[in-house]
Amino acid sequence: MSEVTARKPRPKYLALNEIRLPLPGIVSILHRISGVGIFLMLPFLLYLLDRSLGSPETFETFAAVVDNWFIKLVLFGLLWAYLHHFCAGIRFLLLDLHKGLELEEARKSSKIVLIVSLTLTLIIGVVLW
Amino acid sequence: MVKQRTVVGAHYGLKDWIAQRATAVYMAAYTIIFALCAFSLRELNYQEWSGLFSHGLFKFLSFLFFLSVFYHAWIGIRDLWMDYIKPNGVRLALHLVTIFVLVGYAGWAAQILWRL
């Protein structure tokens, strides 16, 4: 590379503990984290569906497994992951359609995503618990 | 100065981008249908629950949902490996493992549904 085109070293600032993520950034990273969570738990969820649909006997196994408080807590977390992924996904689809691209709107919609997914998680979670 | 750029290539990126969104829209619609059906069950027991999934149309829609989940997950997890895993060998291995488990899950989902 000639001296004329040689670039200056690009500044990097990747101190993760010091970066303050704006609200849309938080929604975005939670979208990724919730997706990974669901992906990792897919075998467990398929196992639960398998037991619940096998026969009346395996349904009892299913009922006993999901009656455990720890499993309930895990499923509660997954319910949030699904609902957050769902709500944030709708927001991303709207952004793809160039809806809500302005900074203020984008901040507002990410706030709505966080609040709606948490509220729905609480309501559905309490109903199912 | 180049005024017009001819877009060339196999459009793999575009295909996946569309597939990720198409599966997302389908999954969102199925989620609403599933929630309505599940909450309208008289009570949660084996008869009611398996009765819902025995219904031909619901079985079909459910299987389509699972395929959407697995295809959507493939694109999402592939992006994850592309973002964070730089050594090509490791990345290729993770891509293959991801494909293998997801194809396996699809077989499992088919077996769960068509046993009914």
Locate the domains of chain A by residue range: 22-128
pLDDT at residue A8 in the model: 74
CB spacing of A39 vs B49 below 8 angstroms? no
Fold of domain B12-113: 3 helical TM bundles of succinate and fumarate reductases (1.20.1300)
Q: Look at the block and give the residue holding tokens 């849309």.
A: A24
Residues of B in contact with A83 (CB under 8 A): none
Residues of A in contact with B76 (CB under 8 A): 32, 35, 39
Task: Measure Cα distances from B33 to A91, A104, B112 in Å.
Answer: 20, 33, 20
Interface contact B58, partner A, CB < 8 A: no
To the nearest 10 degrees (0 to 180), the angle between helices A23-54 and B88-114 is 40
CA angle B66/A82/A65 to nearest 5° reads 80
Residue B80 has pLDDT above 60, yes or no: yes
Q: Residue B26's closest CA among B61, B50, B77, B58?
A: B61
Residue pair A83/A121 in contact (Cβ under 8 Å)? The answer is yes
Q: What is the mean pLDDT of chain B?
A: 93
Q: pLDDT of A65-113, one tens digit each?
A: 999 999 999 999 999 999 999 999 999 999 999 999 999 999 999 999 9
Phi, psi (5° rounding) for residue A85?
A: -60, -40
Among the partner residues A39, A89, A93, nearest to B77 by beta-carbon distance = A39
pLDDT tens digits, residue range B89-101?
A: 999 999 999 999 9
pLDDT one-digit tens code per residue, B4-37: 766 667 777 889 999 999 999 999 999 999 999 9
pLDDT (0 to 100) of residue A1: 46
- What lies within 8 Å, CB to CB, of B53 at 6+ separation is A53, B59, B62, B113, B116
Query: Under an 8 A CB cutoff, do A53 and B45 touch?
Result: no
Q: Over the stretch A33-69, which tens digit does the pLDDT of each residue have?
A: 999 999 999 999 999 999 999 999 999 999 999 999 9
What are the domain boundaries of chain B?
12-113
Q: Identity (one letter) of the amino acid at B63?
A: F
- Cβ B45–A35 below 8 Å, yes or no? no
Between A and B, how many residue pairs show a Cβ–Cβ distance under 8 A? 50
Q: How far apart are CA B94 and CA B73, in angstroms?
A: 13
| Alpha carbon distances (Å) from A78 to A106, A118, B33, B62 | 26, 12, 19, 19
Q: Where are the alpha helices (DSSP H) in chain B?
A: 12-39, 46-54, 56-84, 88-114
- In this prediction, residue B1 carries a pLDDT of 57
Residue B55 marked as a ligand binder: no
Task: Tell me which chain B residues have a C-beta less than 8 angstroms from the C-beta of A39.
Answer: 73, 76-77
Name the CATH topology of A22-128: 3 helical TM bundles of succinate and fumarate reductases (1.20.1300)
Confidence at residue A5, expressed as pLDDT on a 0 to 100 scale = 62
Which ipTM did the prediction report? 0.89
Determine contact: B115 vs chain A, CB below 8 A.
Answer: yes
Chain A contact present for B110, CB below 8 A: no
pLDDT of A123 > 70? The answer is: yes
| Chain A residues within 8 A of B116 when measuring between CB atoms | 53
Q: Which tokens sit at A22?
A: 């704006």
Q: Report pLDDT for A106.
A: 95
